[in-house]
Structure 1
């Protein structure tokens, strides 16, 4: 995790469907209140990306096909599938986001370049329709996946100041 970086530029290589299935199985082990599995992933390759490009253009009231989905050979749409339950919707959405993050870490560890992309159009009707979303489903964005360019392997590690982000519960007695 210390070396993980979002890569906005990737090569045309991508994991196979079978490789992806194995990683998704591992990513699905995230914390999941009531074990609802309130998520699903949609694999977009080849012409699927042009379908998404048309939906993005439509959502942005533009003509043609947006080139955004063509930035990587594989896109993985992350969908929160909210279920009726005692588990609140926000927890279910957090579980779906957890799966996406875990999958991005697993893909990175397996040697793939990954970036999680969103946009104003993520929740647009045209984009939801293109993905075949059902009632109660929310698109959280896409993992763009491809090969790591040689230059990306030499990027410096970014450090996070843990002390800055960690605090204690406020107390009048401390």
Structure 2
């Protein structure tokens, strides 16, 4: 399968089975995902595996962040969650937004690689990703932000809904005429 075919076939799987890749199976995929464009090779990202009781601890942290009395069951929707963390580095050349783009690129590339390897994946976020309780549960440092989680599991027999095709013609536009200054 070509990269183009893999990208075109990618779907988000909101429901997955309890199967999940092992830590050892993840390592080469993470290494490959880490090859995204990274100005100055800062590696401004890291990933955190959440399995078993880790997911329950996350559910408690989400409940605390939202002021709920009962733990959230959302983290139990997949047996493997991969927290995506932007880990910002001091740099005069690479602004914060660009470092966050690298971390996002790693997450998206990893989701493509997991999908191509036969796993169901969805990238989930929420307002509580920026909460103190959730940051503490993940052991985030002051220079880090949680960008969400990849929920990973087996693909169920039922296929997810089809995505609308992208209208590339309307999204790829030329530079507006007369807007550039002539020297």
TM-score category of the 2 structures, normalised to the smaller one: over 0.9
How many residues are matched? 172
For structure 2, the 5+ residue unaligned runs are 1-6
Trace 1:64-75 onto structure 2 (pairs within 5 A).
64-75=70-81
Indicate the RMSD between aligned Cα atoms, in angstroms. Answer: 1.3
TM-score, normalised with respect to structure 2: 0.91
The reply to whether residue 159 of structure 1 matches residue 159 of structure 2 is: no
Contact 1:57 1:63 in 2 (8 A): yes
Q: Using a 3 Å threshold, how does the CA distance of structure 1 residues 104 and 116 change in structure 2: closer, same or farther?
A: same
Distance 2:98 2:67 in 1: 33
Aligned counterpart, 1:113: 120
Supply the distance in 2 between the matched residues of 1:119 and 1:172 (Cα, whole angstroms): 41
Helix, strand or coil at the partner of 1:25 = helix
Deviations 1:22-57 (A, max 9, x none): 100000000001100000000000010000000000
Please report how far the alpha carbon of residue 157 of structure 1 lies from its aligned counterpart in structure 2 after TM superposition: 6.3
The answer as to 2:7 corresponding to 1:25 is no
Q: Show structure 1 runs of 4+ deviating over 3 A.
A: 155-158
Q: Structure 1 unaligned segments of length 5 or more: list them.
A: none
Q: In 1, Cα distance between the equivalents of 2:157 and 2:33?
A: 26
Q: 1:146 aligns with which of 142, 153, 165?
A: 153
Contact 1:2 1:157 survives alignment (8 Å)? no
